Amino acid sequence: MAILQRAAAVTALAAAGLLVLSGCAQSSTSSETAADSSAAPTASAALPSPFDGDPVTVALVRQSGAGDFFEAWGAGAAAQAEFANIDLQVTDARNDNAKQASDLEQAIAAKPDAIIVDHGQTDTIQPLITKAVDAGIPVIVYDLALTDTEGVITTSQSDASMAEGVLKQLVADVGQGAKVGYVSATGFAPLDRRAEVWDKVVADNDLDVVFSTGKVSESTATDNIPLVDAALKQNPDVKAIFAPYDEITKGAVQAVIQNNLQSSVKVYGIDISNADLEVITADGSPWVATSATDPAAVGAGVVRALALSLAGQLDETDVQFPAITITQDFLAENEVTNVKELRDAEPSLALDDVVVADWLPAVSE
């Protein structure tokens, strides 16, 4: 729908003699992800160079994990790419670091017009980023910690403010000095950034951290259940758990419920999806607050940042996508049960004023 709308707008301008149409992908049919006509944007200007000719080839080298976040992010990136006449060539290593390195090697060898790297481990990916930059290929990364950002555009959600928002709620709910648990993993850029905020909030509020556990895997939600279950059996008097990645949050929630502790233990997460909203809004759910972006809007935003940069229109080298903190009460008051309704209740989630141009409005799924 988004693609058709751009075509219609551009055609109207061309008919008025205002611009010359080029043979671009935006004249193709709608992508399967562009299902919501209410979210369809219109461009008020023609695509600039290098998007006004043959499709611009971009390799998207992903290291995605389990869960809806990554799926929605990819759908948003694909929809925005199609809108901008980008031929997005996607690989996904799915927790296999060696495969992601090999995918990136192959992408560099193919000499695309640009490369996007989504997640990954610093030690395996940094040398290849340097190789791509040295080869003159524009590179943009999302949620990847680099030791050398020279020539690279970095992007992320505003992880620090996400953690601050939901932890402010935690402290307001359970008070200073409360017994709390932490469920996360190290070595993942967004989780490490959220951990820094957690450490500060714990220190500033004398929180008593009675357990720290957690892992990221191909089955993150399932694999965290026994870890949190064991921690809760040792510490049934804990008052709150911070689990800052929705797959981990869901595992923590399940462990709380199977220990019948949902009336005394509150869970605070990060991220949102239809599946997460089902869990949060279930009767008596312990998941009481989460900080989140719309992952589809973020995937689209990363593609826009790259496109603006290739067009010479991006001023910054680091782009952070703002998030909001969502409480169970807010969802109930606004009768929100899915992401579409959440977008309607919180239009800022569309990120339609972040890295946009007259020729490049935000496209959402």
Nearer of residues 275 and 357 to ligand SR1, judged by Cβ: 275
Which residue's Cβ has the minimum distance to ligand SR1?
Answer: 245
Nearer of residues 162 and 314 to ligand SR1, judged by Cβ: 162
Are 80 and 304 in contact by the 8 Å Cβ rule? The answer is yes
The span from the CA of 65 to the CA of 49, in Å, is: 34
- Shortest spacing between CB 190 and ligand SR1, in angstroms: 4
Q: In what order do the strands lie in the sheet with 114-118?
A: 86-92, 56-62, 114-118, 139-142, 152-157, 318-321
- C-alpha 351, offset from chain centre: 12
Q: Which residue has the tokens 């200073």?
A: 176
- If residue 29 lies in a helix (H) or strand (E), which one and from where to where? none
Nearer of residues 10 and 117 to ligand SR1, judged by Cβ: 117
- Shortest spacing between CB 280 and ligand SR1, in angstroms: 15
- Shortest spacing between CB 193 and ligand SR1, in angstroms: 10
The span from the CA of 301 to the CA of 321, in Å, is: 8
Q: At what angle do helices 68-83 and 246-258 cross, to 10 degrees?
A: 150
Expressed in angstroms, the distance from the first to the final Cα of the chain is 9
- If residue 78 lies in a helix (H) or strand (E), which one and from where to where? helix 68-83
Nearer of residues 26 and 293 to ligand SR1, judged by Cβ: 293
Are 207 and 177 in contact by the 8 Å Cβ rule? The answer is yes
Are 205 and 174 in contact by the 8 Å Cβ rule? The answer is no
- Shortest spacing between CB 203 and ligand SR1, in angstroms: 23
- Shortest spacing between CB 166 and ligand SR1, in angstroms: 12
- Shortest spacing between CB 315 and ligand SR1, in angstroms: 24
Of 347, 358, 355, 343, nearest in space to 35 by CA: 343
Nearer of residues 51 and 188 to ligand SR1, judged by Cβ: 188
- Shortest spacing between CB 341 and ligand SR1, in angstroms: 21
What residues make contact with ligand SR1 under the rule CB under 6 A?
A: 65, 69, 143, 157, 188, 190-191, 216, 245, 270-271
Nearer of residues 47 and 116 to ligand SR1, judged by Cβ: 116
Nearer of residues 61 and 270 to ligand SR1, judged by Cβ: 270
